[in-house]
Structure 1
Amino acid sequence: MRVVVLGDVGVVQGMMHIGDEAMFRAARDELVARGAEIVAVSSVPDETASRYGVGAVPRIRFDGLDRTAAEDRVQAVLAHAGGRDVLQQGDPARAVVEAVHGADGVLIAGGGNLASTWPLHVYERAALGGIARILGRPIVVTGQTLGPDLRGRDRELVGELLAGAALVGVRESASEALAVVFGTVPRLGVDDASFLGIAPTGEPDEARRGVLVSLSLSLGGAPPEEIATRIAALVDAAAETVGGGVRFHAHFGPLDDPQPRGDEPLHELVRARMRGTSTVVPTGDAPAAASLARSSAMLITGRYHPAVFAAPAGVPVVGLVTDRYTAVKQRGALAHWGQDSVVEVSAADRDGIPLLASSWRDRDRIADEARLRFPRHRSETTQWWDAVARSFR
């Protein structure tokens, strides 16, 4: 069984995006465990092939194209898949079509990019789905957030993609409702990376300690200095409440660069405004990030996947959000595990501090709820990947 898997993977300019890599890694692990050979669609095929021990081809690529050019490219790619030699030699889409032709199916790995915020990702996935349809290969869409901003042509393309899929998996009730509007009966479940490297019981590998902070550059247009001051007050309050020190960990950051990049400059702004001390954990890779999140006593995060990693282990989480998109994701990730502490980043100090205190007081209930829900979520995830593998056989 050979499966072409598309995720937003590939380390570009030394920058690691842990969440995107984590969802691909989880999909690879689950499919390989069921006998699959993987061919990744990657921004940096050689890097991805080496990192995961898989085959890899380049993305079709819609970067920098306006709507007209993107539509023309989709049609050209689909024409090539249908047997017309219309693409130039060296066009990366040729390798994608060839990979799908030699595969038993196509998997679109988990993500939050099926939204009008990122039309290039919508077109990339629509084109891959079209190739699979023309070549008669089943397609599965897994672990998705749909929208919530999804309109016009993007809405049409996503609707066609989901309608043509053998299976559709989403990770929040809001995405489930939108999928139903498209005429799909989706599976609602936890994020695909929820159990990456986790113990069978969900317990962390080491005793939980301290406060972990992972922030996002998405600030809703607010001045970074103002937001940093508000977050610093929240983190100081967490340090006093929880104890055990504060660690900052960038989920979008450099693998080997002493200069702050990605999320790190925001982290440094916050650290400079804190009353207390803190340390920095290098970005690293997805398994290390998952272990770090689960071994923390409290998580404050503007990123999605720290919450995905921490919540199954019963770690209290305070999610910082800036808009409908980030709110849907954070609330969805936490709701699966019985948590709901989400606050606007612009109110991190005013509303966030009492919310954090409440979560900390509730930490025993949060841990018990995670233990209670863990077996069912783990079992349902196993059943999902069994069904995915069957669809490709």
Structure 2
Amino acid sequence: MRLVVIGDVGVVDGMMHIGDEAMFEALCDEMRARGGDIVAVSSAPRETAARYGVDAIGRIDFDRLSRADAEARLDGVAAALGGTASADERIGTMIAEITSADAVIIAGAGNLASTWPTHIYERVAMSRIARALGRPLFVTGQTLGPKLNERDRELVGEIIRHAALVGVRETTSQALSADLGVPARLGVDDASFLAWDEIGLPSNRSGVLISLSLHLGGVDRVEATTRIAALADAAARVTGEPVRFHAHFGAVDDEAPRGDALLHDEIRARMQSASEVLPTGTPRQAALAARSAALLITGRYHPAVFAAPAGVPVLGLVTDEYTRIKQRGALAHWGQSSTVALAAVDTDGIPVLEALWQQRERVAQSAAEAVTAARVESDSWWTHIAESVAKMRKAS
């Protein structure tokens, strides 16, 4: 069972995005366990191939194109498929790989939104190639929108309408999928149980773990870091636990801080409490760090995805409707709902944090009650995809 899988993967310039890699890694684990042979579509094919032990190719590449140029490139895919024009190397490689594959899978992400049209065009191009070649398409672990202009809504609708199965991770995405005419499976994020059996659940949790994003939603950077520093100090005081910062978008080695680590350092400099830094590491290491924390404060999505199933209380910092939907969606699966606007983390946020800490036993119990059924459902989803591919391959 050969599967061409696109995710936002590929370590470029030594920078790792933990969440994007985690969803792809989880998919690889699950599909390999069911007989899948993965061909990754990556922004750094050699790096991805080496990291995961898979075959890998580059994207068709709609990066930095204007809308008009992206539409023209999409037309170029159609021309190559129809034989009316020769394909460039990237398009030709994609067509060849999908020709030799049994299915195409769009891995989990939150990129099918007008904020990132590049990703929409890349995926609609792959879906059109799959459809032209008679290869089934599967969409898993998505956040859809919420921002979709008229053209992007049309393209996203095209992608999911031609998919054999569609999986989303929040009720808002499920509702949007239904509005586009497609019933979608609602489940937890694909990386929720990454290495769950391998790592296990830590018996002793400790520390306040903080993971933040450089996206501040228009809040002045000095103001934002000052406010977050006050929240971090409050967390240290309320919990009596050490504070650790972990960059989910950061350098894979120990060189000078980059990405989220730059913001973390600015916050640490404004704190009254002592703090430490965890290296970015790998998705598996990030999952262990989140599941081992006594409390998580995060502006990033995947720290919550990792921590909440393990019963770690999570305070999500949100900057806009997109981050609010994702944070609340991730937490809702586990009976949590604590979020606060980034602009009010030192005012509204501290009382929410105090209440959350007081409820930590209830939070842990709620997750423990939900996790078995969620794991069964997640396992069934991956099996459903694998069995559907096998059935369609046999029918063809």
How would you bin the TM-score normalised by the shorter chain?
over 0.9
Q: Select which of 115, 119, 137 maps to 1:139.
A: 137
Q: Distance in 2 between matches of 1:84 and 1:366?
A: 59
1:169-184 equivalence runs, <5 A = 169-184=167-182
Q: How does 1:343-358 map to 2 (within 5 A)?
A: 343-358=340-355
Q: Is the 8 A contact 1:82 1:135 kept in 2?
A: no
Q: What is the CA distance between 1:242 and its match in structure 2? A: 1.4
d(CA) in 2 for partners of 1:152 and 1:123?
Answer: 14
1:5 partner SS: strand
| 1:15-48 deviations in Å (ceiling 9; x for gaps) | 0000000000011111000001000000010100
Q: Secondary structure at the match of 1:22?
A: helix
Q: Following the alignment from structure 2 to structure 1, what is the Cα–Cα distance between the partners of residues 279 and 360?
A: 27
Question: Among 300, 303, 320, which residue is 1:303 paired with?
Answer: 300
* Residue pairs, 1:318-333, within 5 angstroms: 318-333=315-330
Structure 1, residues 354-388: CA drift from partner, whole Å, max 9, x if none? 00111110001100000000011101001100111
Q: For residue 207 of structure 1, report the CA deviation from its aligned partner.
A: 1.1
- Alignment partners' CA distance in 2, 1:241 and 1:152: 47
Q: Distance in 2 between matches of 1:292 and 1:9?
A: 21
3-state DSSP class of the match of 2:4?
Answer: strand
Which residue is equivalent to 1:23?
Answer: 23
Report the Cα distance in structure 2 between the residues aligned to 1:61 and 1:206, rounded to whole angstroms: 45
Amino acid at match of 2:60: I
Give 5+ residue unaligned stretches, structure 1: none
Q: Deviations over 1:233-263 (max 9, x none)?
A: 1111111111231110000001125222110
Whether 1:265 and 2:257 are equivalent positions in the alignment is no
8 Å Cα contact 1:193-1:309 kept in structure 2: yes
Instruction: State the SS of the aligned residue for 1:57.
Output: strand
2:225 counterpart (202, 206, 228) = 228
* SS of corresponding position for 1:168: strand
Deviations 1:76-119 (A, max 9, x none): 1122233444223xx21211111100000000000000000000
The 3 A distance-change label for structure 1 pair 387 and 83 is: farther
| DSSP 3-state at the match of 1:142 | strand
Contact 1:2-1:38 at 8 Å conserved across structures: yes
Q: Distance in 1 between matches of 2:76 and 2:86?
A: 6
Q: How many residue pairs align between the two structures? A: 390
Aligned residue in 2 for 1:195: 193
TM-score of the superposed pair, with normalisation by structure 1: 0.98
Output the CA distance in 1 between the equivalents of 2:271 and 2:388. 52
The letter for the 2-side match of 1:31 is: M
Matched with 2:357 is 360
Q: 2:335 aligns with which of 335, 338, 341?
A: 338
Task: Give the 3-state SS of the residue equivalent to 1:346 in structure 2.
Answer: helix
CA RMSD across the alignment:
1.1
| 1:124-135 superposed matches below 5 A | 124-135=122-133
Distance 1:321 1:62 in 2: 29
- Give the letter aligned to residue 293 of structure 2: S
Amino acid of the structure 1 residue aligned with 2:124: A
State how far apart, in whole Å, the 1-side matches of 2:260 and 2:230 are: 19
Structure 1 residue 167 and structure 2 residue 165: aligned?
yes
The separation in 2 between residues aligned to 1:189 and 1:366, in whole angstroms, is 20
5 Å-filtered alignment, 1:1-393, equals 1-88=1-88, 91-199=89-197, 204-393=201-390
- Give the whole-Å Cα distance in 2 for the aligned partners of 1:214 and 1:25: 20
